[in-house]
Amino acid sequence: MQSNPCKKPECDLCEKGSATHRGMVRANVSSFKVGPKRMEVKRDLKCSNYGIYIAVCKKCPNNKAAYVGQTGTTFTSRWTDGHMQAWNSVKEEAIKTHYKEKHQEIYKKNPVIAACYSVYFVEKPIHQNLSDRETYYMNKLKPYLINIQQPKPQ
Ligand SMILES: [Zn+2]
Ligand SMILES: [Zn+2]
């Protein structure tokens, strides 16, 4: 099972035009590391799917900072309408706040988001299980989590 960019020209998450987004969705990934934990990709997934995703900071040593998120629509819309829009605005948002607080020198230079995070699509549960699965990954990655909202107790 692999996480992949869709490479469609209209996709704002993985390909479109500017180098801003290119390279953020890594190709042919079947597993990746968050800190010492190896995470498996559970389905063949690309930007146009929905499900659980994990964004890993490119600057923290040993992949030890990650964001867990879910979307019921598409990964593309979650990123373009959510994280990327926040990245380029004054809005406070976990993915951005991590850079503001932990990588101040880089943050001051207004880096493109693709230079800061790698994104992996990990799983596509049925819609009603999205929040449970998100909580599962948040708990699993708790020491490395940059989410502002902490996982709900189970
Ligand atoms: Zn794409
Ligand atoms: Zn970091």
* Nearest ligand to the CA atom of 111: 2
- Its pTM stands at 0.93
* Nearest ligand to the CA atom of 63: 2
CB-based contacts of 148, cutoff 8 Å, min separation 6: 94, 97
CB-based contacts of 51, cutoff 8 Å, min separation 6: 43, 45, 70, 71, 75, 121, 122, 123, 124, 125, 130
Is 118 in a helix, a strand, or coil?
A: strand
Neighbours of 104 (CB within 10 A): 9
- Whole-angstrom distance, CA of residue 6 vs CA of residue 67: 21
Domain ranges in the chain? 3-144
pLDDT value, residue 12: 83
* Nearest ligand to the CA atom of 3: 1
* Nearest ligand to the CA atom of 13: 1
CA distances from 74 to 6, 12, 53, 61, 127 (A): 12, 12, 11, 30, 12
Q: What is the CA radius of gyration of the chain?
A: 14
pLDDT value, residue 89: 87
Residue-level pLDDT, tens digit, the chain, 154 residues? 999 999 888 888 886 645 556 678 988 999 999 999 999 999 999 999 999 999 999 999 999 999 999 999 999 999 988 898 889 888 889 999 999 999 999 999 999 898 899 999 999 999 999 999 999 999 999 999 999 876 666 5
Cα-to-centroid distance, 127 and ligand 2 (Å): 30
What string of DSSP letters covers 19-65? TTTTTSB-SSBSEEEETTEEEE--S-EETTS-EEEEEEESSSGGG--
Q: 1: which 2 tokens?
A: 């099972």
Cα-to-centroid distance, 83 and ligand 1 (Å): 15
pLDDT value, residue 17: 47
